[in-house]
Amino acid sequence: MVNPNPSFETPAALQRVPDAGRRRVVVVGAGIVGLSCALWLQRAGHAVTVCDPAPPLPGVAYESAASFGNSCTIAYGAVLPVAMPGILTAVPRMLSDRDGPLSLFWGDVPGLLPWLWSFIRASRPSEVRRITSVLGRLVRLTAAGLEPLIEQAGLQALVRRTGCLYVYRTEAQFEAAQANLQMRAEQGVRMQVLQAAQLREEEPGLQPEYARAVRFLDTCSLDDPHHFMMGLAQDFLSRGGSVVQAAVEAVTRQGAARVATSGGRALAQGDLVVIAAGAHSRLLAAGLGDRIRLDAERGYHVLFPEDGNRLNSPVCDPEFGFYLTPLGEGLRAAGTVELGGLGKAMRPHRIAMIERVSRRLVKDLGPAGRTWLGFRPSMPDSLPVIGRSPSDPQVIHAFGHGHVGLTLGGITGRLVAELASGLPPSMDLTPFAAHRF
Ligand SMILES: Cc1cc2nc3c(=O)[nH]c(=O)nc-3n(C[C@H](O)[C@H](O)[C@H](O)COP(=O)(O)OP(=O)(O)OC[C@H]3O[C@@H](n4cnc5c(N)ncnc54)[C@H](O)[C@@H]3O)c2cc1C
């Protein structure tokens, strides 16, 4: 990295295991988390097979993965949980605003109650302080988890190192954000405040209505997330990894081995299995006996294919809850939260809202193109699950990264490789325990 933030941590290089410690590992899921686990396990010397019905390989549709359609930011400022103090009073206001960042399927509320209850409990000030310090540590380790994978796969050209902007229309909105910005600064997040004139100079494509902005200096973005994921998968294959293109229905024991099965048929067998199937991980974990408070937060994107040059860096107006990210393929407006689990179709009025608001924020946008719905794998406390299954120590869980999986996938892979190799993990994994709720 150019001028890395001095607060970033650099753990000792991952040791390769001696031949006797080499394990066969099956990784379930080829999103950013699964592929990062696979690559770090490989670097540690293990023999790795990845199973996924739709991996990022040429000719395979990859759109169902959250890693395909996100806002593409490697968000070095993302140290705050989603559930912040005051969220309980903010939610009704957000739900009543059709252009607001949050929506839900009311019929699903009874089923969501345990998740919502834990979410509200996570917003207590003492919890927010604890979670922020854990996320801060993870984010300070993020470069150590992601950059070696980017370099090894030769993907540096797909990473834009421009920082990203949070923009505020009024001084009052900027003032209201101060406490949160201060909490980020305390975790080593580097920021620069921009006045209106400077913002207009740096982002002339934005409507000139903004009074202030904050640039998160270390944040990067991907030029093309699909090619980025394909590059990681190719790198994995070129180093001897194998991919089985099929969905795992269950992970079962066969003596000392663990087998990933589909329709009772073995897809792959290993000494260890890593479950990294994003929002689909809850069912796989439940099959082992682990009841995990994981749910899906639906998020959308709208692509403006003619407008990739309209902005110089990703921009977010926090009031609307989505980013506008310039990519090689166009300008992607991606984000918002919709509670409603897996399986339901896209809601056209949410897409219309993102398109309408994007046109309000950016000048002269051309026609909208592809629209997308994806599923964030979300835990109520915004912390992922990383660690051994309480029901089966030969299974490692790696999921639940919510809004920041692209950012935290790399370090998660590194932590999983350390665990699989019997090495002390680069940070304490207790906050990520599967059964913490
Ligand atoms: C709109 C939106 C914007 C976002 N913006 C950002 C951002 O800017 N920065 C950031 O850091 N994060 C962002 N995120 C979050 C990030 O995209 C996710 O946290 C991350 O992609 C999760 O990665 P994953 O590997 O856990 O899951 P996924 O990417 O969903 O991958 C899971 C994989 O598992 C596979 N799978 C599912 N079931 C099975 C099975 N039974 N057997 C085998 N394989 C299976 C799927 O096919 C898929 O390939 C955003 C998310 C959304 C939705």
- Over residues 90-118, the pLDDT tens digits come to 877 777 777 777 887 888 888 889 999 99
Residue type, 191: M
162: pLDDT strictly greater than 60: yes
pLDDT per position as a tens digit, 276-314: 999 999 999 999 999 999 999 999 999 999 999 999 999
181: pLDDT strictly greater than 90: yes
Please name the residue that has the structure tokens 């924020």: 361
318: pLDDT strictly greater than 70: yes
Tell me how far apart the alpha carbons of residues 110 and 236 are, in angstroms, rounded to a whole number: 42
Q: Considering only CA atoms, which of 433, 427, 400 is closest in space to residue 415?
A: 427
Question: What is the number of the ligand 1 atom nearest to the C-alpha of 56?
Answer: 49
> How far lies 402's CA from each of 72, 197, 295, 335, in Å?
14, 35, 9, 12
What pLDDT sits at residue 336? 93
Distance 77 CA to ligand 1 centre (A): 20
Distance 172 CA to ligand 1 centre (A): 35
pLDDT band at 2 (very low <50, low <70, confident <90, very high): low
Distance 46 CA to ligand 1 centre (A): 24
Question: What is the number of the ligand 1 atom nearest to the C-alpha of 301?
Answer: 1
What pLDDT sits at residue 166? 98
Helix axes 125-152 and 405-420, enclosed angle (nearest 10): 80
| Residue whose CB lies within 8 A of the most ligand 1 atoms, among 37, 71, 162, for a mutation test | 71
Distance 31 CA to ligand 1 centre (A): 5
Report residue 86 as tokens: 């005051």
Strands 212-216 and 191-195 come out as antiparallel
User: Is 371 within 8 Å of 301 (Cβ atoms)?
Assistant: yes
Tell me how far apart the alpha carbons of residues 170 and 207 are, in angstroms, rounded to a whole number: 14
The torsion of the CA quartet 126, 416, 342, 374, rounded to 10 degrees, works out to: 90
pLDDT per position as a tens digit, 326-348: 999 999 999 999 988 898 999 99
User: Is 53 within 8 Å of 247 (Cβ atoms)?
Assistant: yes
Distance 357 CA to ligand 1 centre (A): 25
| Residue whose CB lies within 8 A of the most ligand 1 atoms, among 26, 342, 401, for a mutation test | 401
Distance 65 CA to ligand 1 centre (A): 5
Question: What is the number of the ligand 1 atom nearest to the C-alpha of 401?
Answer: 19
User: Is 70 within 8 Å of 374 (Cβ atoms)?
Assistant: yes
User: Is 33 within 8 Å of 276 (Cβ atoms)?
Assistant: yes
DSSP-based three-state secondary structure for 427: coil
Q: Phi/psi at 398 (nearest 5 deg)?
A: -150, 85
% of the chain residues with pLDDT over 70? 99
% of the chain residues with pLDDT over 90? 90
Q: Considering only CA atoms, which of 216, 172, 176, 164 is closest in space to residue 90?
A: 176
Distance 55 CA to ligand 1 centre (A): 12
3: pLDDT strictly greater than 70: no
What pLDDT sits at residue 89? 83
Distance 367 CA to ligand 1 centre (A): 27
Q: Phi/psi at 233 (nearest 5 deg)?
A: -65, -40
User: Is 159 within 8 Å of 74 (Cβ atoms)?
Assistant: yes
- Tallying the residues shown for the chain, one arrives at 437
Question: What is the number of the ligand 1 atom nearest to the C-alpha of 325?
Answer: 8
- Give the contacts of 227 (CB within 8 A, at least 6 positions apart): 158
| C-alpha 369: how far from chain center | 24
Question: What is the number of the ligand 1 atom nearest to the C-alpha of 372?
Answer: 1
Which has the minimum average pLDDT: 1-10, 239-248, 406-415?
A: 1-10
- For ligand 1, residues with CB inside 6 Å are 28-34, 51-54, 64-67, 70-73, 75, 247-248, 276-278, 280, 299, 301, 334-335, 374, 376-377, 399, 401-407
Count of Cβ atoms closer than 10 Å to residue 53 Cβ: 16
Q: Phi/psi at 102 (nearest 5 deg)?
A: -125, 140
| Residue whose CB lies within 8 A of the most ligand 1 atoms, among 28, 52, 232, for a mutation test | 52
DSSP-based three-state secondary structure for 51: strand
Is the pLDDT higher at 429 or at 340? 429
Tell me how far apart the alpha carbons of residues 67 and 43 are, in angstroms, rounded to a whole number: 22
Tell me how far apart the alpha carbons of residues 105 and 122 are, in angstroms, rounded to a whole number: 22
Distance 32 CA to ligand 1 centre (A): 7
| Residue whose CB lies within 8 A of the most ligand 1 atoms, among 74, 301, 403, for a mutation test | 403
Distance 410 CA to ligand 1 centre (A): 13
| Residue whose CB lies within 8 A of the most ligand 1 atoms, among 33, 57, 63, 70, for a mutation test | 70
What is the average pLDDT across 58-63?
96
Residue 245: Cβ-neighbour burial (10 angstroms; 0-12, 13-18, 19+): middle
> How far lies 283's CA from each of 84, 289, 292, 309, in Å?
28, 10, 9, 41
Residue type, 68: F
Question: What is 19-432's CATH number, 3.50.50.60, 3.40.50.720, 3.30.465.10, 1.10.150.670?
Answer: 3.50.50.60
User: Is 281 within 8 Å of 37 (Cβ atoms)?
Assistant: no
CA atoms within 13 A on the CB side of 189: 30
Distance 141 CA to ligand 1 centre (A): 20
